[in-house]
Amino acid sequence: MLTVEGLRSRYGRIEVLHGIDLDVASGEIVTVVGANGAGKTTLLKCLSGIQPVSSGSIVFRGEALTTVPAHARVRRGLAQSPEGRQIFTNLTVEENLRLGAYLFADDKVERDMQDAFAMFPILKEKRNLAAGGLSGGQQQMLAIARALMARPSCLLLDEPSMGLAPILVAQIFDVVKSLKALDVTVLLVEQNAFGALSVADRGYVMETGRITMSGPAADLIADERIRAAYLGI
Amino acid sequence: MPELLQFLLSGITVGAVYALVALGFTIIYNASDVVNFAQGEFVMLGGMITFFAHAAGLPLPLAALIAIIVTAAIGVALNKLAIEPARGAPVVSLIIITIGASIFIRGATQLVFDKQLHRFPAFSGDQPILIGGATILPQSLWVIAGALAVFVCLWLFFTRTLIGRAVLATANNRVAAQLVGINTKYVMTLSFAMSAAIGALAGVLVTPITLTSYDVGLALALKGFAAAMLGGMGNPKGALVGGLLLGVLEAMTAGYISSQYKDAAAFVVILAVLFAMPQGLFGRKSTDRV
């Protein structure tokens, strides 16, 4: 579904991605794990089109994406739930969700919103409040729910567990797992390697802008080097 | 008493024009955080183009329509040629670009048209209407109605339409807006077109009363800016109330103190707002969690 080859990207003169190769098959949950600063977020930004690519290719459902502008990639079914609090703080929770479905104006929008509220009941409670007043965890849920409103065939999730209380982390990973039933392919970027690898089918390990290991998630979890470097075991 | 009423009526008329300029500021500010100081030039263009199209033999409504469309196109050009290429520059730089653009538009108008004062006929005649001992021109009613109509349309646009909320979303978080599929370049273009069209409409409505020439834009931009600041930058309701308040304040200053101090009212307002309540009357205090 998504194939990345030789992807390079730079901030100014400093190259941060040194040729990334990665592929995600339809229906899979694939995770990219790695330490802070490895380039994981930059990778997702490149895939979404909000960070320029200096070379390499991104092919999504058979179509080269590199020259497609960011907003048009959403239309093609590639949505991202960005890292941190990239929500519309001045709009209400409900308006945020409605804008997630910006490309649609049919009856399904209302049903999708009800689904989002079922997935995250706290958002329903706060639907008429300004999103800027939500707690960090609630903003994270809103970002995920908003991305799902775009009816993605492939969802890019950037650090959904970052800064959350352990009980919320577990809840977020449950949500990720449940996306499989909704036929949403997931590319999950995480520092929390153990959590991410436990819900993923396959994983990639990223270090300073390169993929250093890849394989089935179960193998990576069992790998000595990974256990030592990322799982703290 | 009729004196007070007379000042009030003329204040509201002028205030309605300020409100229209302030509404123009509001739209572009909402989409981009940029204060567009070329907003006054849009008002000037609305009046000037209408005059010359009318003088060329076109009926007044058609001339006005052409003026609004041409000005909207100039607004789009301003965005495409000056603002968009500088995207990523700090907001202050973009604001300075709009000041440069306003000087350019003024100069170009002087060359393309002329430096004379111009007027075209009022829409419903020049017979003043008597209200409680004071008088008001029929054209003043047009100006006030125009400001109210634009305000209602904008309010509906920002609160009831998806594209209106997309404009607000783009202002709040451009990257996130792109990530939900909003074409942020289009949002900017739309904002400049709407803003310029509203400015031109103000020029069309007010020229029969105040006359127009190539250099009326600067004062209007500053007054409109003061009105927008007073009401709270970015808030359509604030723009309307701020504009009317400033107009009335000016008329009272001119009437009861001295007409020489009339223009000072706007600047006193800007200073007072900045000192006492920088968010204005209706400005939203931002509620960001950090």
Does the pLDDT at position B289 exceed 70?
A: no
What's the farthest any 2 CA atoms get from each other in chain A?
Answer: 51
pLDDT-based confidence at A229, cuts 50/70/90? confident
Beta carbons of A90 and B172 less than 8 Å apart: yes
In a domain, A147, yes or no: no
Does the pLDDT at position B290 exceed 70?
A: no
In a domain, A205, yes or no: yes
In a domain, A218, yes or no: yes
Nearest to B176 among A82, A95, A149 (CB): A82
CATH number assigned to the domain comprising residue A13: 3.40.50.300
In a domain, A202, yes or no: yes
Asked if A47 and A4 touch (Cβ cutoff 8 Å), the reply is: yes
Give the whole-angstrom CA distance, residue B289 versus residue A130. Answer: 11
For A48, the closest chain B residue by CA position comes to B179
Size of interface A-B (CB pairs under 8 A): 89
pLDDT, position A232: 65
Q: How far is CA B92 from CA A16, B7, B32, B35, in A?
A: 30, 37, 12, 9
Report the run of H or E that residue B197 belongs to, with start and end: helix B184-210
* A184 and chain B in contact, CB less than 8 A: no
CA distance A166 to chain B (A): 20
Give the whole-angstrom CA distance, residue B253 versus residue B272. Answer: 16
A227: domain range? 2-84+152-231
Question: How many folded domains does chain A comprise?
Answer: 1
* Residue corresponding to tokens 């993929």: A211
Give the whole-angstrom CA distance, residue B29 versus residue B167. Answer: 10
Does the pLDDT at position B198 exceed 90?
A: yes
pLDDT-based confidence at B284, cuts 50/70/90? low
pLDDT above 90 coverage of chain B, percent: 74
User: In the 3-class helix/strand/coil scheme, how is chain A assigned residue by residue?
Assistant: CEEEEEEEEEECCEEEEEEEEEEECCCCEEEEEECCCCCHHHHHHHHHCCCCCCEEEEEECCEECCCCCHHHHHHCCEEEECCCCCCCCCCEHHHHHHHHCCCCCCCHHHHHHHHHHHHCHHHHHCCCCEHHHCCHHHHHHHHHHHHHHCCCCEEEEECCCCCCCHHHHHHHHHHHHHHHHHCCEEEEEECCHHHHHHHCCEEEEEECCEEEEEEEHHHHHHCHHHHHHHHCC
In a domain, A113, yes or no: no
pLDDT, position A116: 94
> What is the pTM for the complete model shown?
0.87
Does the pLDDT at position A230 exceed 70?
A: yes
- DSSP tag of B183: -
Average pLDDT, chain B: 91
3-state secondary structure of B87: strand
CA distance B75 to chain A (A): 24
In a domain, A111, yes or no: no
ipTM of the complex: 0.91
Beta carbons of A71 and B184 less than 8 Å apart: yes
Residues 155-214 of B with CB under 8 A from A: 162, 165-166, 168-169, 171-173, 175-184
CA distance B235 to chain A (A): 12
For B166, the closest chain A residue by CA position comes to A99
Written as one letter, the residue type at A92 is T
Give the whole-angstrom CA distance, residue B173 versus residue B188. Answer: 13
Does the pLDDT at position B32 exceed 70?
A: yes
pLDDT, position A233: 58
3-state secondary structure of B129: strand
Nearest to A133 among B168, B184, B287 (CB): B287
Q: What are the tens digits of pLDDT across the range A103-146?
A: 999 999 999 999 999 999 999 999 999 999 998 889 999 999 99
Phi then psi for A78, rounded to 5 degrees? Answer: -110, 105
| Contacts A88 to B, Cβ<8 Å | 168-169, 172-173, 176-177
pLDDT-based confidence at B288, cuts 50/70/90? very low
* Residue bearing the bigger pLDDT, A89 or B278: A89
In a domain, A54, yes or no: yes
Q: What are the tens digits of pLDDT across the range A26-82?
A: 999 999 999 888 999 999 999 999 999 999 999 999 999 999 999 999 999 999 999
Q: What are the tens digits of pLDDT across the range B120-152?
A: 999 998 899 998 889 999 999 999 999 999 999
Residues near B257 by beta carbon (within 8 Å), at least 6 away in sequence? none
In a domain, A186, yes or no: yes
CA distance B27 to chain A (A): 16
Could you tell me how far CA B96 lies from the centroid of its own chain?
18
pLDDT above 70 coverage of chain B, percent: 98
pLDDT, position B286: 52
| Contacts B170 to A, Cβ<8 Å | none
| Contacts B183 to A, Cβ<8 Å | 69, 71-72
pLDDT, position A128: 95
* Residue bearing the bigger pLDDT, B272 or B54: B54
Average pLDDT, chain A: 92
pLDDT above 70 coverage of chain A, percent: 99
